[in-house]
Amino acid sequence: MFPMIRKELLVLLRDRASLITLFISPVLFMTVMSFALGNSFANLGSPGKLSISIVDEDHSPAAQAVVRALSSSGRLQVTSAVDGVPLSAAQAQSRVHAQTDAFSVLLPAGFQQQVADGGAPKIGFVVDPSSSRQVVDPVESAISSLVVTVTSQEGTTLALTRLSDTQSDPAVKAAIQAQVAALDSTTHQVDSTVSFPAGEGAKKYPSVYQQEVPGYTVMYVFFIVTIMAGSIMVERREGTFRRLLSAPMPRWQLLLGKVAPYLLVAVVQVAILLSFGRFVFGMNLGLHPLALIPISLALAACAVALGLLLASVTRSEAQVMGIGTAMVLVLAALGGCMVPGVFLPHFMQSITHFIPQGIALNAYQDVLVRGESMGAVLPGAGILLAVAVAMFALAVPRFRFVR
């Protein structure tokens, strides 16, 4: 079996295309994507401000209260006037179009009257179509809630003021006016703090590298699938398997000798890519770096098992490349390797828990980002190993050395 392993490694070392796929390509992707997404991660945990504009066409106390409330937000950069002149709807649209603002809030004429009449306050949003809905939607929702709160308060103030005007008793009148003053002085700001769940070792937000390096490592480990299955197809086509079947070597040794080198290569690949992240990008390996080992071994076993399964159900190199590449890319996307999980919609975040890539990535981030120890990642590694065993069990009985 050892001659098989040695031969396979020699052949792989001379296969430049495979080496580029396994080692150079992920390094390039990690580097480019880390720079591309660097700003997104740099703002995590820091008070970044979203630029918006407000057009007040009502000029009423209620509308002004909304403008004041939004302007006082520490998370928003609000523009309601330019050079002291209130912003017009056309100007606001121009600013959104020029991407000066992420969106604009329009408080139409009659805004306060609607509130006074007990109706739902109507507001409008002008949104740049290229804006991320994941950013705009929550902010829209938050602003709508704030408008409801502010207008509700304004409605109460208005009602109390009217009530006060009808009172003849100075004491009652004073009491009502005190209530109005208290309402006027109410702030709409919340003094909030952020902390991580108890038991997690992380003390700060993750760096872009802690997201991108494990993501692309997991994605590219699975490219061993097409390389290994392709190599098996070549041995079938060239007749080397048939020749080796006539050698005094049991079939299980022949199969193990073919698979084992790729397991080794996958483990080395993980080690090199994580080391690249550590030593080139200065990526923090978490509080328990040794916990990365069981994940990496289970991940490599899973990738190799998938490669064997692919080789056992396909008949040509073309099928391997077509099916294999599509499978690897789709699973990587579903597993959250290409786009960090925080940017994925909820249903996709749920799917990642059932995809080997997602399980591996989550386990890596447990160690790198959340500072978890060996015990915390063993369940994930165990699931990956179980998936690998299941795929081996499916592949081996179907595997054919000759066409």
- Which stretches of the chain bind other proteins, using CB under 8 A? 2-4, 6-7, 10-11, 14-15, 238-240, 242-250, 402
* Interaxial angle between packed helices 224-238 and 317-334, expressed in degrees from 0 to 180 and rounded to the nearest 10: 170
Distance CA 367, CA 84 (A): 52
- Residue closer to other proteins by CB (options 261, 336) is 261
Distance CA 193, CA 348 (A): 29
Residue 201: count other Cβ atoms within 10 Å of its Cβ: 16
- Residue closer to other proteins by CB (options 247, 330) is 247
User: Nearest approach, Cβ of 234 to other proteins (angstroms)?
Assistant: 9
Contact 104, 125 (CB under 8 A): yes
Q: In angstroms, how far is the first alpha carbon of the chain from the final one? A: 22
- Residue closer to other proteins by CB (options 16, 346) is 16
User: Of 137, 50, 149, 139, which Cα lies nearest the Cα of 102?
Assistant: 50
User: Nearest approach, Cβ of 45 to other proteins (angstroms)?
Assistant: 50
User: Nearest approach, Cβ of 136 to other proteins (angstroms)?
Assistant: 54
User: Nearest approach, Cβ of 4 to other proteins (angstroms)?
Assistant: 7
User: Nearest approach, Cβ of 15 to other proteins (angstroms)?
Assistant: 7
| 127 DSSP β-pair partners | 103
Distance CA 382, CA 364 (A): 14
Structure-block tokens of residue 174: 């004073």
User: Nearest approach, Cβ of 307 to other proteins (angstroms)?
Assistant: 19
User: Nearest approach, Cβ of 16 to other proteins (angstroms)?
Assistant: 10
> Position 319: which residue type?
Q
- Residue closer to other proteins by CB (options 158, 234) is 234
- Residue closer to other proteins by CB (options 204, 251) is 251
* Helix (H/G/I), strand (E/B), else coil: 313: helix
- Residue closer to other proteins by CB (options 50, 234) is 234
- Residue closer to other proteins by CB (options 27, 396) is 396
- Residue closer to other proteins by CB (options 258, 370) is 258
User: Nearest approach, Cβ of 332 to other proteins (angstroms)?
Assistant: 29
Beta strands in 8-136 (DSSP E): 50-56, 76-79, 81-82, 85-86, 103-107, 124-127
159 alpha-carbon distance from chain centroid: 47
258 alpha-carbon distance from chain centroid: 36
Strand order, beta sheet including 124-127: 76-79, 50-56, 103-107, 124-127
